[in-house]
Amino acid sequence: MVITIPLVLLLAAALLLLLRFRALGGGAAVVAVLFGFYLASTDANDTVNGLVSAITNAIPNIGS
């Protein structure tokens, strides 16, 4: 997937904003990061990548 690094940076920025505005506590942020890390190493990896790819491919076609 070509957009992996920008998507990771976007999600990291969103997580940092949630922490900054206290919408998410530090413990919950650690849990979110660990969940993503361990989810990537399971068999759900292909399913999640397929879902994200489908969404990112559909976004440019929304306005058309």
Ranges of H-type helices in 1-64: 4-20, 26-40, 44-58
Query: Is residue 13 in a domain?
Result: no
Would you put residue 24 in left (φ > 0), alpha (ψ -120 to 50) or beta?
beta
What integer pLDDT is reported at residue 11 of this predicted model? Answer: 82
Query: Which residue range is the domain that position 41 belongs to?
Result: 25-59
pLDDT reading at 8 higher than 70: yes
How many distinct structural domains can be found in the chain? 1
What integer pLDDT is reported at residue 31 of this predicted model? Answer: 86
What integer pLDDT is reported at residue 61 of this predicted model? Answer: 85
Q: What is the pTM of this model?
A: 0.60
Using alpha carbons, select from 49, 8, 14, 15 the residue that is nearest to residue 31: 15
Query: Is residue 36 in a domain?
Result: yes
Mean pLDDT over the full length of the chain = 84
Burial of residue 24 (CB within 10 Å: 0-12, 13-18, 19+) is middle
Tens of pLDDT, residue by residue over 33-63, are 888 888 888 888 888 888 888 988 888 888 7
